[in-house]
Amino acid sequence: MVKLTAKELEILQLVAEGLNNIEISKIMVTTVHTVKAHLTSIMKKLGVTNRTAAAYVALKNHMVK
């Protein structure tokens, strides 16, 4: 099983809900750059190349709701 940090899981949940990077950065009170860095890490850990695939894998494996 892939180990994601709490922040990565939070971002992945928001991605799965359909939010874009700007919306996520406002909710998490961080920069868009930080959100993108987390997404890059998430995608690498999950072995996918885009946010849609990351959300799909996360939903399929019950990592997010």
Q: Where are the domains of the chain?
A: 6-60
* Burial class of residue 60, CB neighbours in 10 A (0-12, 13-18, 19+): exposed
Amino acid at 15: V
Share of the chain above pLDDT 90, in %: 95
> CA-CA distance, 59 to 23, in Å (whole number)?
20
CATH topology of domain 6-60: Arc Repressor Mutant, subunit A (1.10.10)
Q: What is the pTM of this model?
A: 0.94
Mean pLDDT within 22-44: 98
Neighbouring CB atoms inside 10 A of 36's CB total 14
Mean pLDDT within 47-56: 98
Distance of alpha carbon 45 from the chain centroid? 11
Mean pLDDT within 31-60: 98
Q: Are 24 and 14 in contact (CB under 8 A)?
A: yes
